[in-house]
Amino acid sequence: MATDVQDYQPAPTHESARGTGHQSVPSNSTVTTVNDNSTVPLKLEATDTTTPPNGVDTDTDDANLPEPRHLLERIPTVLQPSIPWRKRLMHFTFAWYTVTLSTSGVSLVLAITPHRFRGLSTIGLVIFLLDLLFFLVITASITLRFVLYKSTFRRAFTRPNEALFVPTFFLSIAAILCNVAEYARIFIFDGDISYQFPGLGSNSTPSAEPDDSHAASASLPTFATFLCIAFWFFSALTFLVSVIQYHLLFTVKAERRLSLTTITPAWVLPIFPVMLIGTLAGSFSKTQPPESAIAMICAGLAAQGLGLLVSFFFFSSYLSRLMAFGLPAQRPGMFIAVGPPSFTGAAVISMASDIPRVFSQLQESRVAILTGVGDMATLAAGVKLGAIWLGVFLWGLGFWFFVSAVAGCVAGMQDKRFHLSWWSMVFPNVGFTIVTIKIGTGLGSEGVLWMASGMTVALVLAWAFIGYRCVRAVVKREIVWPGHDEDS
């Protein structure tokens, strides 16, 4: 099929409603497509105001880029000429890490969901191993993209539509680390989440006869050291990356900056990995000696507060935008707002659950911070109770954002074709499901726990359906195609 684009006249710029606030040229220019001596009127879409009228991208230093910046609008892709996979790879963006983030989230929920059946942990482990495969394939594909099209590396971090999804790489790593800790607990350490250390716990009486359980105990120090190093390295890296990435978005070219009229919850993604530091602290602290555990918990609490407050600052502008300019074009992205309050509630409750062990063991060590504060058991119980109350407090906000996002999607989407933003219906709701499980466990409410189990089932079904639509979209050229992805 031969396609000839003629007589394009640039139109005045306006703010695109399709992306995350990126400014673009409206899709009201026409061209003619020649096919077997017949002409069919089509529309063109220009996706970057920095592109001069002759179609040359000033940001592009690679002469081998396969197509001009002015691309056919989302017409049926079967009418467009086929391009090789090597050229399609140029549009393989960081947004693909939402696939691994969602898959890791589902496997993590299956590891801790309250109502279990025989083989559920094995199913979760299989999904986790599948996620590791996805992560390797996606990382290799993006790396190959940067090798083949060198200019796309800089563009990936300076074009907001894709730059906002760069943090999903770090979010995927955090989710993988949480899965490592949970499935090690289940399959290696016989479900003992307390990870008792010799001489520190009440159950650490020495045994005269070695048995099979000592093999797992022997590997615990190495495993705990790995988690400790991973935690502090991830904490330092994500804090630094969040500062750098927001700085890049603050200083990007004026014509490419995001607009408050198109703000979406995706704007909080650069600070999202910092919030996951608290989640890691709640999961990893149970493997650490008390001095290391309390340091993790304090760092996690500080990071959680930072991430939540920055998210709230953005959400105030986001709600103002909804009131003044209406719902965003990509409605599934509204679910991202569910994540910050949900993950914060889950992280605080998880960190507080280790406080009784930490306080009792630190008291034995006569740590100065706990001198003269009274009964440790009462103090630890107060911390746990306060964390549960905070979790319930934040659960209400997450639930409101969840219902608002559902209402927005039910009301209809301007573009019903698949976008990678559809995965936003999974990974933020992972946090919402986890905090519901934590609250139900803390309150001892069977009703809340059954609700959490129902949410788990709904989450798995949503993950499977969106996974099917994702594969179908690749085959149908709805994604990984010129003009259809976050790099446009």
Closest CA to 357 of 330, 381, 324, 393: 381
Both structure tokens of 183: 């499935």
Same domain, 358 and 470: yes
Same domain, 61 and 204: no
Is there a domain that residue 102 lies in?
A: yes
Which pLDDT value is given to residue 140?
96
Find the domain containing 52 and state its range: 14-83
Q: Write out pLDDT tens, residues 289-298.
A: 988 999 999 9
Cα(69)–Cα(72) distance, rounded to whole angstroms? 10
Residue 149 has pLDDT above 90, yes or no: yes
Number of domains the chain contains: 2
Confidence of residue 256 (pLDDT cuts 50, 70, 90): confident
Q: Which of 83, 104, 136 is the last residue of a domain?
A: 83
Same domain, 56 and 103: no
Same domain, 167 and 261: yes
Confidence of residue 52 (pLDDT cuts 50, 70, 90): very low
Which pLDDT value is given to residue 8?
38
Residue 388 has pLDDT above 90, yes or no: yes
Is there a domain that residue 397 lies in?
A: yes
| Average pLDDT rounded to a whole number, residues 48-59 | 40
The strands making up 70-72's β-sheet, listed across from edge to edge, are 14-15, 23-35, 38-46, 70-72
Closest CA to 351 of 384, 317, 395, 394: 384
Is there a domain that residue 3 lies in?
A: no
Is there a domain that residue 484 lies in?
A: no
Q: CATH number, domain at 412?
A: 1.50.10.150
Cα(225)–Cα(288) distance, rounded to whole angstroms? 8
More confident residue, 372 or 443: 443
| Average pLDDT rounded to a whole number, residues 90-112 | 95
Confidence of residue 65 (pLDDT cuts 50, 70, 90): very low
Residue 16 has pLDDT above 50, yes or no: no
Which pLDDT value is given to residue 76?
64
Same domain, 181 and 282: yes
Is there a domain that residue 485 lies in?
A: no
Residue 19 has pLDDT above 50, yes or no: no
Q: Write out pLDDT tens, residues 199-242.
A: 333 333 333 344 444 555 557 888 999 999 999 999 999 999 99
More confident residue, 34 or 281: 281
Q: Are 7 and 319 in contact (CB under 8 A)?
A: no
Q: Which of 83, 107, 122 is the last residue of a domain?
A: 83
Same domain, 44 and 131: no
Which pLDDT value is given to residue 367?
56
Confidence of residue 344 (pLDDT cuts 50, 70, 90): very high
Residue 260 has pLDDT above 90, yes or no: no
Same domain, 268 and 373: yes
Q: Write out pLDDT tens, residues 347-387.
A: 999 999 999 988 888 766 555 555 556 677 888 889 999 99
- Using DSSP, how many helices (H) and how many strands (E) does the chain show? 14, 4
Same domain, 341 and 433: yes
Average pLDDT, the chain: 81
Which pLDDT value is given to residue 188?
87
Is there a domain that residue 488 lies in?
A: no
Same domain, 72 and 160: no
Cα(167)–Cα(241) distance, rounded to whole angstroms? 8
Confidence of residue 94 (pLDDT cuts 50, 70, 90): very high
Which pLDDT value is given to residue 243?
95
Which pLDDT value is given to residue 217?
55
Same domain, 67 and 104: no
Same domain, 71 and 104: no
Is there a domain that residue 289 lies in?
A: yes
Q: Which of 49, 67, 83 is the last residue of a domain?
A: 83
Same domain, 48 and 153: no
* DSSP assignments along 393-444, one per residue: HHHHHHHHHHHHHHHHHHT--S--S--GGGGGGTHHHHHHHHHHHHHHHHHT
Is there a domain that residue 243 lies in?
A: yes
Residues 6+ apart with CB under 8 A from 40: 32, 33, 79
Which pLDDT value is given to residue 184?
92
Residue 166 has pLDDT above 80, yes or no: yes
CA count, 13 A, side-chain hemisphere, 210: 6
